[in-house]
Amino acid sequence: MVARPEQDFVVNLDTRESNPARLDPSQRPDRIAVASPGAKPPKHRVELWHTLAALMIGLLLCESVLTLRRRRV
């Protein structure tokens, strides 16, 4: 292996991003809405892809049943 100093490079990372210290609850991005006075807690989120995946599996099963019925006739 040949050393090629012209291809070396240095990356300076922001050391604040890897700080393992706990954040104050008022600084946490997921708690900002709750921390403000008079704010309601966030509502429960329902993932849309769960419903779409169940619908697609149901359609696939219906298609399989219809295909099997046509083969028998």
State residue 47's pLDDT score: 84
Buried b / exposed e over 15-46, threshold 16 CB at 10 Å, is eeeeeeeeeeeeeeeeeeeeeeeeeeeeeeee
Residues lower than pLDDT 50 in the chain: none
pLDDT for 57 equals: 98
Indicate the helix (H) or strand (E) that contains 47. Answer: none
pTM over 0.75: no
Q: Are 34 and 41 in contact (CB under 8 A)?
A: yes
Number of Cβ within 10 Å of residue 2's Cβ equals: 3
- pLDDT at residue 11, rounded to an integer: 80
Residue 53 has a pLDDT of 96
